Chains A and B, each alone.
Chain A
Amino acid sequence: MGSRLLLRTGALGYLAVLLLGPVVMIAYRTFEHGVAPVWSALSTPTAEHAIYLSVLVTLISLPLNVVFGLVAGVAIARRRMPAGRSVNLLVNLPFAMSPVVIGLALFTLYGRGGWLGDWLSGHGIQVLFALPSLVLATTFVSLPFVVREVVPVLEEIGTDQEQAAATLGASAWTTFWRITLPALRWALAYGVVLTAARALGEFGAVSIVSGNIVGQTQTLPLLVEERFRNFDAVGAYSAGFALALISMFVVAAMTVLSRRKEH
């Protein structure tokens, strides 16, 4: 019994020092001087624009990756994907890459002297340091989440029910909407939560391609960094706490959904 207590103390101590202590501390630092300064730091035009931009970019990348995740997931699970192995590598690549490297890859493609950069800017299309690059970077980093949730479920449920529906004369659409999608719902919801969380919080890739132009291409995570570097502690902690709060909802959703997924 003594050794069990020792192990428990060790595990809890490690978590307290590394995780719980710092997270509690940021809440304390944020509200050290009350709620009013936090509120005013989050309602400056710059902060409001950063929140708006983060939400906007998420709302564009998320549907793209959900549709891709479903289509690619069905194709991979049903072995209808050409070049299966290379596709697998490409799908998982964003997880193996540093966010900074992802940002740089987009930078070299769409920047000056890049394969597409010169042509696009010649036609008056600005990708880097503008909304398109934010969307491209966010879509890249959050691409694998939905596919990776959907494929194992599709492989597990097999095709029996889809076949039955087809035999009974259901169209492809009907089969998808009434058989495949309902079976996928919890895995899909889990993937959506992970994608949205990553999209809202992405920092490295976005910091390379966005140029971090205040009030224009500055997302909420970029605002945190800029405020911190400019010694605006309240501003940095307020924005950071807002993001941390979202993460806590995400964790709660993950816990609930992963329990649902198992049934």
Chain B
Amino acid sequence: MAEAATVARRPAAVRLPVARIGSALGPGAALLYLCLIVGLPVAALADRAATSHFWAAVTSPQARSALQLTVEMSLATAAINVAAGVLIAWVLVRDDFPGKALLNGVIDLPFALPTIVAGLVLLSLYGPNSPVGVNVAQSRAAVLLALLFVTLPFVVRSVQPVLLALDAEVEEAGTCLGASGWQNFRMLVWPAIRAATLVGAGLAFARALGEFGSIVLISGNITFHTQVASVLISGQVESGDTSGAAAVSIVLLVLALVVLASLDLAVRRLGRRRG
């Protein structure tokens, strides 16, 4: 066996034809494309932010209020998603009821729905002419609602495969041994899905930081009240203040990158502790 393994591995060092044409031309062209499409604009943005009065732009009352609201709303979104996402994932995996398969598919709808339509969809039920008498338009609740809508799939889709792989018999054994439902969850299920939940929540948080389309119509864009960072940036561009907009953008971008990087680190640490 060991012999076969070494033999099988050896030719990997030989360059394959695919790799050979790809070896110079392909990666080079891909790298150039990546730099032109993504790298150059981002560098230009950073340059614009650096040459402006960065601190003044970022610490203006309006910018501070918008950034603070954005972070608070994103934290709330992540927290609610942890509870709702785990619950929905558990019900989709362990429970059975008519229409479950259809419901499972519908979970992805917020990922596929254009964000402006997500905002419109929410306005049609929770807007000024609400048929159920709930009008949240132009309030912070509207911002939260929009964020919860667009981030719904993250925790569900992250936790679901882990729960599927986790044997239901473990929970049944727990019940036989006299554990309550809550004890079962806390001691058997939660340790298994903890890392996946964290990943989902982190991705939802990062997405919420930058969300724009679903918020722009329903939030009413009220300064110091419902104006989040992305809507502020859009307004600044419209009024010609691209330097100010660039400064706020860089803060938003760095925040998202820090969140994603620490998420990566935390998951690796959690994985190591379990393994």
Contacts and interface: CB of A to CB of B under 8 A. Distances in A.
Interface string A97-125: 11111111111110100111000000000
Nearest to A69: B30
A35 interface: no
B117 A21 contact: no
B120 A160 contact: no
A97 B253 contact: yes
Interface of B is mostly: helix
A78 B19 contact: yes
A7 interface: yes
Interface residues of A, number: 95
Contacts of B39: 90
Interface residues of B, number: 88
B17 A170 contact: yes
A25 B114 contact: no
Nearest to B213: A203
A93 B152 CA distance: 21
Interface in A137-174: 139-140, 143, 159-160, 162-163, 166, 170-173
B38 A90 contact: yes
Contacts of B107: 15, 19
A115 B212 CA distance: 27
A94 B253 CA distance: 10
Contacts, number: 283
Interface in B99-150: 103-110, 112-117, 120-126, 131, 145, 148-149
A77 to B, nearest CB: 10
A247 B210 contact: no
Given A7-B87, A18-B152, A197-B112, A108 B246 contact: yes
A60 interface: no
Closest 6 CB pairs of A and B: A98-B210, A201-B114, A172-B17, A105-B41, A109-B44, A72-B30
Interface of B: 8, 11-12, 14, 16-23, 26-27, 29-31, 33-35, 37-42, 44-45, 47-48, 84, 87-88, 90-92, 95, 97, 103-110, 112-117, 120-126, 131, 145, 148-149, 152, 181, 206, 209-213, 216-217, 229-231, 233-234, 237, 242, 245-246, 249, 252-253, 256-257, 260
26 contacts: A3-B181, A7-B91, A11-B90, A15-B103, A22-B126, A23-B109, A23-B121, A68-B30, A71-B26, A71-B30, A74-B19, A78-B22, A81-B31, A97-B256, A101-B253, A115-B44, A160-B8, A170-B17, A176-B18, A201-B112, A201-B115, A204-B230, A240-B120, A247-B112, A248-B112, A254-B105
